[in-house]
Chain A
Amino acid sequence: MIQRLAWLLMVALCAALPATAQEREGPLRIEITEGVIEPLPFAIPDFVGDDTTAADWGARISRVVASDLTGTGLFREIPASAHIGRITSFSSPVQFTDWTPINAQALIVGAVSVDDAGKLIVRFRLYDVFAGQELGQGLQLVGTTDGWRRIAHKVADQVYSRLTGEAPYFDSRVAFVSETGPKDARQKRLAIMDYDGANVSYLTDNSSIVLAPRFSPSGDRVLYTSYESGFPRIYVLDVATAGRRVLESNDGTMSFAPRFAPDGRTIVYSLTQGGNTDLYTMDIGTGQAQRLTTAPSIETAPSYSPDGSRIVFESDRSGTPQLYIMPAGGGEAQRISFGQGRYGTPVWSPRGDLIAFTKQSKGRFHIGVMRTDGSEERLLTASFLDEGPTWAPNGRVIMFTRETQGAQGRASLYSVDITGRNLKQVPTDTGASDPSWSPLQK
C-alpha cells in the first residue's frame, strides 16, 4: 500500500513535467540484436527444358547448383518431394504462394535449351519468395556441354553472391598432391580438380616427390617443389599444357615453399644453404634472385599480402616456430603470433584482413585464423594432423590437409567456413594433400 502511494506520487511528478515522452509523435522503435544463424532454406526445381535432352541437362545443372549452395553450409535445400508448386515454364510468373508454405525463402528458377550448334543455353532467375520479388537480374549463360559443370557453378556463384553478399567462388579449381601407396613409400603426383572434387586430372607422373603446388594470381600457372633432379627444386608449370621448367638454383642448395607475388612475376621462397633456410624472392622471368632474410634461424612458408607490400612467414628465431610479418623487400619483421604452441604455414587471405595458419599445440594440430596484427586468433579445427591452409578466392572458406594417425595414416582434403562451421571432407579418389585454391575462373 505504501508502495502504491509512492508510485502515485511519482506519477504525479511525471505528469507535471511539461515535455514527457508520450507527447512526442513518432513510430515505435525497437532494436533487434539477437537472431538465429541457420542455413537459409531455398528451392531449386529442376531447370525446365524444351525437350527431354534439354530437360536432362536442366536436371543435372540444377543438382550441381543445389550441391554448391548446400555445400557452403549457409543454405539448405528444400527437397523436390516437399514442393507444392511446379515450375513448368520459365516465362510464366512465379506463384509465390506455392513456396511460402514450405518456407522456401529463396527460389531459383531456370531453363535450359540446346542450340543448333549443340551448345547449352542456360537461363535462370532468383527470387526472394517472402518479399515476392526477383533478386537482381536474370542471367543467361552459354557454353559447351563439356563445360556444363562450370555453367552450373557460375549459376550457383551468382545466386550465392546475390544472397550472401560474399564474392563468388564455386567456379574455381584446386591444385593438390595426389597420394598413393604406403606411408613409407608414398607416391605423389601433382593433380588439379574442380573445387568440389570433380574433373580430376594429373599434371605430373609419380616418379618423384612433388610438394605444395601454388597457383599464380591469374590461375594459369602453378609453382611447386619437386625432387625430380634429385634435390628439392622449384618448378613452374603451365596449367593448360602441363609443360614445366625448373627455376634456376645453385648446386648444393635446396629451394622450396614458393608462392607468387600478386604481380604474377615475382615469387618468394625458401632457400637452404649450409643448413640454414632463408627467404628469397626471384623474378621468374629473369631468374634474378634477392635475399630477404639472413638470420641463422629457419625462415619458411612465406605468403604475400594481397597488395604485395608485405610478407607473412614462419620463423623459429624465437626458439619455436612463430609467425612474422615483414615488408615485401625484406627488413625488420614483427612477430604476430603469441599464443601457446607452434605456428606455421601462414597464408594471407585474399581479402587482406585475416591470416590462416597451422598451429601445433598439446599434441594436436589446428587450422586457425587471426587478424594481421595477430589479434582475434580463432582455431577452426583440431585433429591429429591438420596443415597447409589455402583460401577460397573469396576469402570465406579454407581448405587444408588432414592426415590420420598411425601406420595406415592417410591424407585427405578438408574445407571449413571461416566461422568454423561446415567442416567437411573434399572428395578425392586417392589420398590428397597440399591443396592450393585457384582464383575464380574467367
Chain B
Amino acid sequence: MTYLSKTFILVAGLTLSACSQPDRFGDGNTTDLNAAGAGGVVAGSASDPTSPLYFQQAVGDRVLFAVDQSTLSPTAMATLDGQARWLMTNVEYNGIIEGHADEQGTREYNLALGARRANAVSEYLIGKGVSPARLKVISYGKERPLEICSEESCYAKNRRAVTVISAVPTS
C-alpha cells in the first residue's frame, strides 16, 4: 500500500475557505487540513510554529504566477524560502504541491501548466534542501478554482501552487 493510505489524519479545528475542496484527494485517505471536525488539537493551532496551520497561515502555503507562466517571482521565492525552512524543521511532515491554472485555457493545457507550476515549486524547495522523497506534485489544471469570478482579480489568485502538508506515516 502507498504511504498515503497510512497517513495520519490530522483534524484541524478551522476551516479555511482557501482549501475547501471536498475531494482534494479522491480516497480521502490523506490529510485534509480543511476538513471541518470536532476534537481540536491544541498543539495544532496557528500559533504553534510546528503546526500545519502555522505553515499555512504564517509561512504561507501558496505562491502565485503570472499568466501562462511557471517562473517564480521574488515574492514567491521568499514564501518558498519560508516553506523550505519549515519543512526542514518539521521533518514529520511531507508536502504535496498542487498546481492550478485560471479558467482561460483548455482543460488539457491547463493540467500541464499546473504541473509545471507545481514542479517549479518542488524544484525550488529541493534546491533549498528539502528531500525529494518528501514532496509530491499534482496538477488540478482549472478544475479547482479558488475564486469564481471571471475577472483578472480572481484569475490572479487561481494561478497558484499550494503546498499541502501531511504527517508522515508513523510506522
Contact = CB atoms under 8 A, between A and B. Distances in A.
A395 interface: no
A272 interface: yes
A225 to B, nearest CB: 8
Given A254-B115, A275-B119, A345-B106, 5 more contacts: A212-B108, A256-B108, A272-B139, A300-B108, A345-B107
Contacts of A385: 103-104
A182 B145 CA distance: 10
Given A275-B118, A277-B112, A183 B145 contact: yes
Given A314-B108, A321-B109, A230 B148 contact: no
6 contacts: A252-B137, A254-B111, A270-B112, A300-B108, A406-B150, A409-B150
A254 B108 contact: no
A26 interface: no
Interface string A384-413: 110110000000000000010111010000
Interface stretch (A100-108, A141-149, A203-211, A420-428): A203-211
A182 B149 CA distance: 12
B138 A183 contact: no
A405 B149 CA distance: 8
A276 B113 CA distance: 9
A300 B114 CA distance: 13
Given A358-B106, A388-B106, A272 B26 contact: no
Nearest to A358: B106
B21 A185 contact: yes
Given A298-B113, A384-B150, A407-B148, A227 B107 contact: no
Interface residues of A, number: 50
Contact of A230 (B4, B119, B143): B4
B112 to A, nearest CB: 4
A98 interface: no
B144 interface: yes
Interface residues of B, number: 42
B134 interface: no
A230 B98 CA distance: 11
A407 B116 CA distance: 26
A230 B26 contact: yes
Contact of B25 (A230, A360, A434): A230
Given A183-B145, A209-B143, A344 B30 contact: no
A14 B150 CA distance: 75
Closest 7 interchain pairs by CB?
Answer: A275-B119, A208-B26, A344-B106, A277-B112, A183-B148, A298-B112, A405-B150
Contacts of B144: 184
Nearest to B122: A275
A392 B74 CA distance: 49
Given A185-B20, A230-B25, A270 B108 contact: yes
Contacts of A232: 111, 138-139
Contacts of B122: 275
Given A185-B21, A298-B109, A228 B26 contact: yes
B56 to A, nearest CB: 18
Interface string B134-162: 00111110011111111000000000000
Contacts of B35: none
Contact of B27 (A230, A251, A275): A230
A229 interface: yes
Given A207-B26, A209-B23, A272-B139, A256 B145 contact: no
A184 B108 contact: no
A58 B108 CA distance: 45
Contacts of B105: 342, 344, 360
B120 interface: yes
